[in-house]
Amino acid sequence: MFEKLAVIDTEADEATLIGCIAELEHLKSVAAAGQARLTAALDQKRRAREASEGVPAAKRGRGLANEIALARHDSPNRGGRHLGFARALIHEMPHTLAALEAGALSEWRATLIVRESACLSVEDRGKLDAEMCAAQSELEGKGDKRIAADAKAIAYRLDPQAVVDRAVRAERERTVTIRPAPDTMAYVTALLPMTRGVSVYAALKHAADTTFDERGRGQVMADTLYERVTGQPADLPVPVAVDLVMDDDTLFGGGPSPARVPGYGPIPAAVARRLTSDAIADKRSRATLRRLYRRPSSGALVAMESRARLFPKALAKFIALRDDTCRTPYCDAPIRHTDHADPHAAGGVTNEVNGVGACAACNYAKEAPGWRVATRRNGDGAHTSEVTTPTGARHRSKAPPLPGSPHARASRIETAFADVLAWRDAA
């Protein structure tokens, strides 16, 4: 069956091509419904087994969302969403499930319906399910916003208090996040209560309305936000204390190798040199140089070790620079914990090979029964991590190489000198 799907006849006529596109979209919905059924079945089997083994109810199913995420090559955060989605569809929303299996809904639009019904009782959720999806023809032509708006309106009509209570609880979810944007830019997103969000935007808009220079409105708003948050002028070069990692040839010799900002990714060599030059040239800014030593053939960092129970600050910093983001496969979350792959309580050593950078969710998930993490260095010095889930599935990740030319070679003396310096700085 799968081999047949992989055969694409690009020479077919236009009507056939558009028909195939529609058929494959239908199959995506069918597959999503199938994954939901499998996920719900796995959840029930796992909880039943753990109940028979005497696992407390509060701990049953721990780590399952992460396991589902790995199986779907997805982030742990989305794994939790997939699990909740499956539980709701299979046990409480048969009409939405049927619409998904019929291709009347995409997986995302079905997710929107589940999300908007989450605050309702099981009985009211069933009513919303029937009203939204019992007549599948009513779903035709509706986009994401219309689906979400209709579900939200029905939820409010069925239980206004529940919707209001959810809005109140949502204030506790306020936060600020950052993610990379193209061309060495970044999106800084603030999730705020509606009134505060409107106030922030109004203040920035007022700054743009009362500023008259060569900058555009968006530029003025962005600069004002930066200045009010950091307390520094927008034209002040940023101190290069954001761990801008580059090789010496890029920094001093005009080399072409990209630099890297941990948690963000690579940036062009010319941009990295400009940021560094601006920070050094302006006396109001401060720039510091930290030495990191990589193996020329692979870009792997030099090893460091400690007998301490907790990772020393220098070693934790080293691991964070090495791993860049959470080392769980498919997880791009920022590193929050430096943890032992082989647990310290089981004799695991505190060194850079056994140390891995992890987000909080992944670190807690691997403490569930049946999870194992093994780390090692390959022959080229690259640090690898292998996660084994309770079902025996294995997933691997490799630490990204440091910036630098892969063709560079270091002498034996240079390598030994780098080892000595790295050990000294880790102390």
| Sign of CA pseudo-dihedral 279, 281, 285, 290 | positive
Per-residue pLDDT, 4: 59
Q: Higher pLDDT residue, 209 or 182?
A: 209
Q: Are residues 324 and 389 in the same domain?
A: yes
**Average of pLDDT values for 304-325?**
70
Q: Are residues 16 and 113 in the same domain?
A: yes
Q: Are residues 273 and 368 in the same domain?
A: no
Q: Are residues 123 and 262 in the same domain?
A: no
What percentage of the chain has pLDDT greater than the value 70?
81
Q: Are residues 339 and 253 in the same domain?
A: no
Burial code of 215-249, b = ≥16 C-beta within 10 A, e = fewer? eeeeebbbbbbbeeeeeeeeeebbebeebbbbbeb
Q: Are residues 180 and 300 in the same domain?
A: no
Mean pLDDT of the chain: 83
* Rounded CA separation 317/338 (Å): 9
**Average of pLDDT values for 383-390?**
92
392 close to 371: Cβ distance less than 8 angstroms: no
pLDDT at residue 171 is higher than 80: yes
Indicate the residue among 154, 170, 186 that finishes a domain.
170
Q: Are residues 118 and 193 in the same domain?
A: no
> pLDDT tens across 342-380, in order?
888 788 888 888 889 999 888 888 888 889 999 988 877
* Rounded CA separation 224/362 (Å): 36
**Average of pLDDT values for 289-294?**
58
Per-residue pLDDT, 296: 59
Q: Are residues 11 and 70 in the same domain?
A: yes
Per-residue pLDDT, 317: 81
**Average of pLDDT values for 329-352?**
86
Residue 172 CB neighbours (<10 A): 7
Expressed as residue numbers, the domain containing 202 is: 175-230
**Average of pLDDT values for 200-212?**
92
**Average of pLDDT values for 151-175?**
89
Per-residue pLDDT, 305: 46
Indicate the residue among 170, 186, 201 that finishes a domain.
170
- Written in H, E and C, the secondary structure of the chain is CHHHHHCCCCCCCHHHHHHHHHHHHHHHHHHHHHHHHHHHHHHHHHHHHHHHCCCCHHHCCCCHHHHHHHHCCCCHHHHHHHHHHHHHHHHHCHHHHHHHHCCCCCHHHHHHHHHHCCCCCHHHHHHHHHHHHCCHHHHCCCCHHHHHHHHHHHHHHHCHHHHHHHHHHHHHHCEEEEEEECCCEEEEEEECCHHHHHHHHHHHHHHHHCCCCCCCHHHHHHHHHHHHHHCCCCCCCCCCCCCCECCHHHHHCCCCCCEEECCCEEECHHHHHHHHHHHHHCCCCCCCCCCCCECCCCCCECCCECCCCCCCHHHHHHHHHHHCCCCCCCCCCCCCEEEECCCHHHCCCCECCCEEEECHHHHHHCCCCCCEEEEEECCCCCEEEEEECCCCCEEEEECCCCCCCCCCCCCHHHHHHHHHHHHHHHC
Per-residue pLDDT, 195: 83
Q: Are residues 63 and 179 in the same domain?
A: no
How many domains, in total, are found in the chain?
A: 4
Per-residue pLDDT, 138: 92
Per-residue pLDDT, 6: 59
Q: Are residues 145 and 205 in the same domain?
A: no
Indicate the residue among 212, 230, 248 that finishes a domain.
230
pLDDT band at 3 (very low <50, low <70, confident <90, very high): low
Q: Which residues contact 279 (CB under 8 A, 6 or more apart)?
A: 237, 238, 239, 240, 285, 286, 287
* Rounded CA separation 309/223 (Å): 44
> pLDDT tens across 53-88, in order?
999 999 999 999 999 999 999 998 899 999 999 999
> pLDDT tens across 27-48, in order?
999 999 999 999 999 999 999 9
Per-residue pLDDT, 299: 60
pLDDT at residue 246 is higher than 80: no
> pLDDT tens across 413-424, in order?
444 555 554 445
**Torsion angle defined by CA atoms of residues 363, 367, 368 and 369, in that order, rounded to the nearest 10 degrees:** 140
pLDDT band at 307 (very low <50, low <70, confident <90, very high): very low
Q: Are residues 51 and 143 in the same domain?
A: yes
Per-residue pLDDT, 279: 67
Q: Higher pLDDT residue, 279 or 336?
A: 336
CA separation, residue 129 to residues 30, 110, 134 (Å): 18, 10, 7
* Rounded CA separation 3/26 (Å): 17
Closest by CA to 133, choosing from 162, 164, 92, 166, is 92
Q: Are residues 138 and 264 in the same domain?
A: no
**Average of pLDDT values for 3-8?**
64
